[in-house]
Amino acid sequence: MTNKRRFRWSEPQTAPAGPRVKSIPPDSSQTAKLYAGCPGLITAFATADILQTLSLMFRRPLMSLGAYGDSDIQGVAQWPIDWKGPVGVAQRLPVRYIGLVTEPENVPASVHALQKALAKRRVGRAYYSFPPQYGLNVEELQEQLSHVGLAAAIRNNFEPLLDRATAGREPPVIIVPNVACILEIKGTSEDEIIAALPQARTRTSLRQTLRHISGRDATMEDVAVHLPRLLQSAYDRTENDVPYPPGAFDIFWQRHNMQPNVLMRTMALNSSNQPVGMAIGLVHDGVVYSLLLVRDYTVAKSFNVTARLITDMAAQATAKGCSDFDLGGGTAGIIDSKVRLGSRCHSYVDMQVTHPWYRPLFNLWEYRKKRHGVLHAAPQLDRRPSATGQPFTR
């Protein structure tokens, strides 16, 4: 399905008064107060410690804003900011579920207020990613945004339409429905988790892999030497640049290798101790969230390294009290492989919001990018198919 066929337009209506926005520290008491009031909406990626790490990894300053209704805080928005000369972009990076934490019914008004507040701070575009727990319906969200004065389009991705890219007629909001695969962890050991998988072929493949590949906690050498090699190999296959700057995971290791809520695991061949896969998971409120999962594709032809990374991480997370594993999404093929492991598809929503002051500048950048064939400097999310699953509830 092309973007043009998927495009839907919603005309803005008269906007009611929205929340007030002001700068707040990332780890302020106001943020803690909001998070305590809506724990079911918080993911590991929204915590101050992880956001600060992402800011350092990508070498981009962290901006934190609070949205207030009357006197109480009703939303917290936090992003690493990518400054393109004098104009900033509130980044989504190759990470999901960051941008804004608020009650689902407050999303449209908060996004509208943040659009204005960011523009005054010279940030012309912002990305939001709302996890399955929000239960957002893209058509309803489109209509709700129109009620606060924001025209919105529903697309398959954030790429501009070819016939509108330089005309200045793009709506300020682009909504992209996405899929996250969430695996219910059944069992307390890896053997029990494998035994609970739905497909006999997958169980047989994993048991064979267990005889040749062992899992262990990642070492500093794994992170500094082997992880960059695995990432480069994986992105070379798709002819894309690695979205992580050199040394990014060295910073992650330094900040989190001793933290119990962070799991860093390596799969290595028994015969040579050569790492053939690595995974990083973040534990939060009974769920382990996959931050990174990468394998050696030459070895993957003989062994089911990806599935082994998942079952190993699930077993480690179970010991931390987790009952669910959020594997993220990916391409259609990647999603299919996660579903074969027993995970279920749940819908989540990504959003791009551009302020009209800066629209001509973004149009110019997009036109030059296409004319010269240069990739956008911002890391791109995988293009995921539209979700058919239900909101994730625990």
Could you report the per-residue pLDDT of 226-246, keeping only the tens digit for each? Answer: 999 999 999 998 888 999 999
Q: Where are the alpha helices (DSSP H) in 262-374?
A: 305-318, 332-340, 359-372
Instruction: Please tell me whether residues 241 and 222 are part of one structural domain.
Output: yes
Which of 33, 34, 31, 67 is CA-nearest to residue 51?
A: 31
Rounded to whole angstroms, the Cα distance separating 389 from 180 reads 9
Instruction: Please tell me whether residues 278 and 246 are part of one structural domain.
Output: yes
Instruction: Please tell me whether residues 152 and 79 are part of one structural domain.
Output: yes
pLDDT at 205 over 70: yes
DSSP state of 243: S
Instruction: Please tell me whether residues 43 and 61 are part of one structural domain.
Output: yes
pLDDT value for 70: 80
pLDDT at 355 over 50: yes
Percentage of residues in the chain having pLDDT higher than 90: 72
pLDDT value for 4: 40
Residue 11 pLDDT grade (very low, low, confident, very high; cuts 50, 70, 90): low
Rounded to whole angstroms, the Cα distance separating 255 from 250 reads 9
Region 197-224: mean pLDDT is 94
CB neighbourhood size of 3 (10 A): 17
Task: Look at the chain and report how many structural domains it folds into.
Answer: 2
Mean pLDDT, the chain, whole residue set: 87
Instruction: Please tell me whether residues 156 and 294 are part of one structural domain.
Output: no
Contacts with 68 (C-beta within 8 Å, 6 or more apart), sequence order: 19, 20, 21, 22, 74
What is the SS3 assignment for 361?
helix
pLDDT tens digits, one per residue of 23-43: 999 888 989 999 999 999 999
Cβ(215)–Cβ(308) below 8 Å:
yes
pLDDT tens digits, one per residue of 140-197: 999 999 999 999 999 999 887 766 544 557 899 999 999 999 999 999 999 999 999 9
- Residue 382 included in any domain: no
- Residue 276 included in any domain: yes
Instruction: Please tell me whether residues 112 and 40 are part of one structural domain.
Output: yes
Residue 360 pLDDT grade (very low, low, confident, very high; cuts 50, 70, 90): confident
Instruction: Please tell me whether residues 311 and 171 are part of one structural domain.
Output: no
Instruction: Please tell me whether residues 74 and 25 are part of one structural domain.
Output: yes
Tokens of 341: 């492991």
CB neighbourhood size of 78 (10 A): 24
Contacts with 373 (C-beta within 8 Å, 6 or more apart), sequence order: none
Cβ(179)–Cβ(329) below 8 Å:
yes
Region 380-387: mean pLDDT is 40
Between 27 and 300, the more confident residue is 27
Residue 372 pLDDT grade (very low, low, confident, very high; cuts 50, 70, 90): low
CA torsion sign, 110 to 115 to 116 to 121?
positive
User: Side chain identity at 236, as an amino acid letter?
Assistant: D
User: Side chain identity at 23, as an amino acid letter?
Assistant: S
Tokens of 377: 């400097």
Cβ(59)–Cβ(53) below 8 Å:
no
User: What pTM does this model have?
Assistant: 0.87
Question: Which helix or strand (DSSP H or E) is residue 77 part of?
Answer: strand 72-84
Residue pointed to by tokens 């070819």: 162
Region 100-127: mean pLDDT is 96
Q: Output b/e per residue, 249-286; b: 16+ Cβ within 10 A.
A: bebbbebbeeeeebbbbbbbbeeeeebbbbbbbbbbee
Instruction: Please tell me whether residues 206 and 253 are part of one structural domain.
Output: yes
Domain assignment of residue 247, given as a range: 186-322
- Residue 378 included in any domain: no
CATH number, domain with residue 263: 3.40.630.30
pLDDT value for 361: 83
Instruction: Please tell me whether residues 15 and 130 are part of one structural domain.
Output: yes
- Residue 71 included in any domain: yes
Contacts with 146 (C-beta within 8 Å, 6 or more apart), sequence order: 10, 11, 12, 13, 152
Rounded to whole angstroms, the Cα distance separating 98 from 93 reads 9
Backbone angles phi, psi at 45, to 5 degrees: -75, -15
pLDDT tens digits, one per residue of 248-275: 999 999 999 999 999 999 999 998 999 9
Region 280-293: mean pLDDT is 96
Instruction: Please tell me whether residues 103 and 152 are part of one structural domain.
Output: yes
pLDDT value for 164: 55
